[in-house]
């Protein structure tokens, strides 16, 4: 498989290519997966996001990746690291981790498995000083995952984003430093 970035026990995390926006649209762009993320995206929005992450990999050596289940070869998620780029965020430019898992693979430990390897990669290979993660109070699975990764709640970084519904506001943040991550190992 080309462009493997990370490998875990059950998953391969590979760089995205031009054909992945269509695959993401089919497998991950569902009302359930996108419930707390502003809803289902238009194909052109996914293409723009993928173009951005390919440019990020070329420029900075990191971005979001496709998660492939080793046992089946199926695409099961999209996760990785990017810069905080929400125009309302007080910490634009910080390194941000994020994740989506296709709904028929939820609660199998895939997000945790993938993100442990992404966080380790961010600190040991890319050398970032700290990581942020953004979600909303209603996205319980997501902030519980942040807590399971050892991240701490950062109320000082919360912000409102008018492009999200009232139920998905404010955006709340968690963060972790390299020292905090090492302490969890
Ligand atoms: C959030 C999401 C990625 C979790 O993926 P997952 O592979 O099911 O998560 P895991 O099985 O690895 O679970 C890891 C931990 O996350 C938490 N968690 C995940 N889903 C949860 C849920 N529905 N309710 C409560 N806690 C949950 C738990 O702490 C869990 O640990 P545990 O199993 O020991 O209790 C998945 O639900 C998803 O894709 N949601 C839609 C997309 C999204 O909102 N992404 C986040 C953007 S901020």
Around ligand 1, the residues with Cβ closer than 6 Å are 33, 36-37, 98-101, 106-112, 135, 139-142, 144-145, 148
Give the strand pairing for 95-101 and 152-153: unpaired
As a whole number, mean pLDDT of residues 118-142 equals 97
Q: What is the pLDDT of residue 33?
A: 97
Q: Domain range for residue 87?
A: 4-184
Helices 140-148, 110-121: inter-axial angle, 10-degree rounding: 50
CATH code for position 21: 3.40.630.30
Using one digit for the tens of pLDDT, what is the confidence trace for 65-99?
A: 999 999 999 999 999 999 999 999 999 999 999 99
Q: What is the pLDDT of residue 185?
A: 86
**CA–CA separation, 25 and 148 (whole Å):** 28
Split into its structural domains, the chain has a count of: 1
The residues near 42 (Cβ < 8 Å, ≥ 6 apart) are: none
Task: State if pTM tops 0.95.
Answer: yes
């Amino acid at each position: 498989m080309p462009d493997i970035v990370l490998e875990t026990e059950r998953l391969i995390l590979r760089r995205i290519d031009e054909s992945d926006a269509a695959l993401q649209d089919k497998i991950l762009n569902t009302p359930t997966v996108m419930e707390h993320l502003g809803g289902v995206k238009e194909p052109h929005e996914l293409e723009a996001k993928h173009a951005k992450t390919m440019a990020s990999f070329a420029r900075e050596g990191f971005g979001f990746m496709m998660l492939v289940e080793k046992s089946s070869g199926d695409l099961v998620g999209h996760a990785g690291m990017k810069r905080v780029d929400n125009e309302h965020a007080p910490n634009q430019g910080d390194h941000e981790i994020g994740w989506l898992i296709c709904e028929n693979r939820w609660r199998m430990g895939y997000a945790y498995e993938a993100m442990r390897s992404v966080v380790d990669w961010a600190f040991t290979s890319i050398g970032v000083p700290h990581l942020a993660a953004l979600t909303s109070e209603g996205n319980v699975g997501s902030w519980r995952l942040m807590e399971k990764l050892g991240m701490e709640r950062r109320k000082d970084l919360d912000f409102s984003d008018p492009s999200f519904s009232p139920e998905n506001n404010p955006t709340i943040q968690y963060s972790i430093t390299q020292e905090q991550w090492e302490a969890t190992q």
